[in-house]
Structure 1
Amino acid sequence: MTIETEAQAQAWLRDVVGADVAAMDRLARLAILLTEENERQNLVARGTLPHVWQRHILDSAQLLAVPRETVPDGSWLDLGTGAGFPGLAIAALQPSRPITLVDSRKLRTEWLARAAADLGLGNVTVVLSRVEDLPPQQHAVISARAFAPLDRLLQLSARFSTPETLWLLPKGAKAAHELAELPQGWRHMFHVEQSLTDSNAGVIAGRLLDTPTLKRHTGKHSKVPNP
């Protein structure tokens, strides 16, 4: 199923995710803030703004209803969050869940902090940092939307994960290819689900069970056989 209209996207949020009136109001306000800020800095492609519910809000919210996965309670880490997707949209839907938004661009993080405050989202922490420089801290959920190729993403962020952490990674048309090309040594239970917003796009979801031994400074894997 592919959701193709703004009305369908809003209906899905209410019917599937269970977004109440307050959550829908927060998301509507987020759409306004995004449109206004996009005049000052290029947060998203201008052509996507008339379809913001489908292209950005629903594209984020679908992570709460990925088939074959149950999203655990606990803290959520969104890496390379950019315009706040998926992390800020998830925070608007789940205002009691601690969510950390990480981005290395100062203007982006300043806007994210203002938007979170405007939406009354005290559950959001905005961090200006490269992923490489973040202190290690485990999270229940890790997301990243078009942030880095899967192998590189895992190298950078496996230290934030436990075997119980759920990874939710919108990957566009390259999802299946990136998963198939993941080098030997990563023990995982990842799979690809079709995106609700694009019939050609996929979401990599699942758990990272173990990591290969990484050679210092080179970023290359030593060979660790699968069990």
Structure 2
Amino acid sequence: MIGTEGEARAYVAQKCDPAAMARLDRLVAALAEENERQNLVAKNSLPQVWLRHIADSAQLLEHAEAGDAPWLDLGSGAGFPGLVIAAMRPQAPVILVESRRRRIEWMERMIAELGLSGCRVEGRRLELVETFAAGVISARAFAPLERLLRLSARFSTSDTRWVLPKGRSAAQEVAELPESRRAMFHVEQSLTDAEAGIITGCGKWKGAK
């Protein structure tokens, strides 16, 4: 379990090169500044930004590596986890879905400042995003699991990896899925919060079939 800012930073450093760490440092500094203008993250989380936001996002690479097929991040908000993944894997295609104008502008500015040529923002509701085959689908505080799966099913294929941080509700949300499809997912322990889980799985979501 990662418990301190130093441990969180060291954990992330093991997963990327020095250039990526420099990008993440710039992201952290910009986040603190922007948070004075709009409430991107809880203010009391900033003293533990590496633990609460950066390492919390980076740990998803334990369960799904960014590859040639797009990494689709739903409801990216302040850019977690998608912007962190893009900063760590700048050559991989990462698509951030967000409908709130000021957050779209924030993420687009960070993409430009960090030189993330493989990353882009879909500034609209997910229902309006054109369908494509996603290699990975992630979401942090986007929607309850059943609704999340229903909305994003058209982006999934038999090879799609799902990595969905869900906090304390992870096991319960999986248990509430239709029994015939429940086995597609399981819950992994978060490395940054002893009480949180990450729902992981692989495959195309076909609902209750």
For 2:53 and 2:129, the matched residues in 1 are separated by: 26
**2:42 corresponds to 1:48:** no
Aligned residues: 208
CA deviation string 1:94-143 (max 9, x = no partner): 00001001101011001100011111111111111111111111110110
Contact 1:87–1:101 (CA<8 Å) still a contact in 2?
yes
**2:173 corresponds to 1:178:** yes
Give the TM-score normalised by structure 1.
0.88
**2:58 corresponds to 1:61:** yes
- Alignment counterpart, residue 72 of structure 2, candidates 77, 81, 94: 77
Q: Show the counterpart of 1:12.
A: 11
> What SS does structure 2 have at the residue aligned with 1:29?
helix
RMSD: 1.4
Deviation of 1:205 (Å): 0.7
Deviation of 1:72 (Å): 5.7
Q: Which moved more, 1:125-134 or 1:163-172?
A: 125-134
**2:131 corresponds to 1:132:** no
- Alignment counterpart, residue 103 of structure 1, candidates 76, 98, 102: 98
**2:184 corresponds to 1:192:** no
Deviation of 1:45 (Å): 0.1
Q: Which runs of 4+ in 1 moved over 6 A?
A: none
Deviation of 1:162 (Å): 0.2
Q: Show the counterpart of 2:29.
A: 32
Residue type at the aligned position of 2:36: E
> What SS does structure 2 have at the residue aligned with 1:170?
strand
Q: Show the counterpart of 1:93.
A: 88
For 1:203 and 1:77, the matched residues in 2 are separated by: 16
Alignment CA distance shift 1:8-1:148 (3 Å): same
The structure whose Rg is larger is 1
For 1:92 and 1:77, the matched residues in 2 are separated by: 15
Alignment CA distance shift 1:162-1:105 (3 Å): same
Contact 2:75–2:140 (CA<8 Å) still a contact in 1?
yes
Contact 1:168–1:205 (CA<8 Å) still a contact in 2?
yes
CA deviation string 1:46-101 (max 9, x = no partner): 000011111000000000013xxx53622101000000000000000000001001
Alignment CA distance shift 1:59-1:116 (3 Å): same
- The answer for unaligned runs of 5 or more in structure 1 is 213-222
Q: Percent identity?
A: 56
